[in-house]
Structure formats: C-alpha cells, structure tokens
C-alpha cells in the first residue's frame, strides 16, 4: 500500500481488526520510510457495480461517495459513523445480489431513504429533499425544454 504522505510502497501493518459491522478489515499501517501512520480498509466486493445516472450516463459505483452523501444528510444528527457504514454496507450487499450489474441511481436513492427512515427522521427528510429536488430539476428541464420549443417563457411562482 503506497504511503499517502511520501509515496513509499512499503508499509508495516501495526494493527488489524474487523470493523464494527464485520463488513471490512481495518488495518493501521505505518510507512517504513517516513513513519507516517494511515488506515486502510479491506472489503469484500462480490462484483463490479455500475450506476445508471441517465440513459447515456454511467459511472462506477463508489461506496465512499454514498457514505459521503449519507453523512451530509446526517450531519449534526445522532447518527454514528458506524450506523452509516452499516447502512451503506447493507445497500451495497443488496445491490450486489440483485443480479443486475447496472443499477439506476434512483434505486440507490430509494434504498438510502428506506434505511435513513429508520435511523433519523431529520436525516431522512434532508436526504429525501435533496434527492427529490434533483429529480424535479430534471423534470423541470424537460418541462422548460418543451416550453421554449413552443416559444413561450416560464413564469415563476404559482
């Protein structure tokens, strides 16, 4: 594992133990060149997942990205990092066993909402509103496109 501080290739494992949800092995490492310490996580991945953002937009599933967006929704709420890890691990495992390697981003959003609902109502509402706005923004683009084609302009409010 390359040291993130000096780029040296060799590090020593100081400590190795499973994460709270048993979904990964956490390793404390020390760089053999600059002695900096860092942590790595080793996880089981059943297969590669692709997220379908839209009809012609795909990107590889990134677990960290999902953890980040859930963490933002749960900011300053009584939701622990371990709970978020568990939620994301559960979703990832579910997606991996679905039988389809291309997953619509919508499906992932729904799974996160389902999970957050049981964890914290505020985090749930935050995530749902961001997710909903995103979808409505897309709807709105389609709507705006139709309107401008018809040669009229959009009105605010109502």
Summarize as ranges the residues that interact with Zn ion (CB under 5 A): 3, 5-6, 8, 31, 33-34, 36
- Token pair for 38: 């860092």
Cβ(14)–Cβ(29) under 8 Å?
Answer: yes
* CB 7, min distance to Zn ion, A: 7
CB-wise, 34 or 46, nearer to Zn ion?
34
CB-wise, 37 or 63, nearer to Zn ion?
37
User: Apex CA 24: angle with CA 47 and CA 81, to 5°?
Assistant: 110
CB-wise, 29 or 86, nearer to Zn ion?
29
* CB 54, min distance to Zn ion, A: 41
- Report the 10 Å Cβ neighbour count for 98: 12
* CB 28, min distance to Zn ion, A: 14
Q: Measured between alpha carbons, how far is 33 from 95 in angstroms, rounded to an integer?
A: 40
């Amino acid at each position: 594992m390359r040291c993130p501080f000096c780029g040296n290739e060799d590090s020593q494992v100081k400590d190795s133990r499973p994460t709270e949800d048993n979904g990964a092995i956490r390793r404390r490492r020390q760089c053999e060149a600059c002695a900096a310490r860092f942590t790595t996580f080793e996880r089981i991945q059943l297969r590669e997942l692709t997220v379908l953002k839209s009809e012609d937009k795909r990107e590889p599933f990134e677990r960290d990205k999902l953890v980040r967006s859930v963490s933002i929704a749960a900011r300053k709420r009584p939701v622990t990092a371990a709970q978020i890890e568990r939620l994301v691990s559960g979703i990832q495992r579910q997606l991996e066993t679905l039988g389809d390697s291309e997953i619509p981003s919508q499906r992932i959003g729904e799974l996160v909402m389902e999970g957050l609902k049981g964890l914290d109502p505020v985090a749930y509402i935050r995530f749902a509103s961001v997710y909903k706005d995103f979808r409505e923004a897309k709807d709105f683009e389609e709507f705006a496109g139709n309107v401008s084609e018809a040669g009229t302009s959009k009105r605010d409010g109502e």
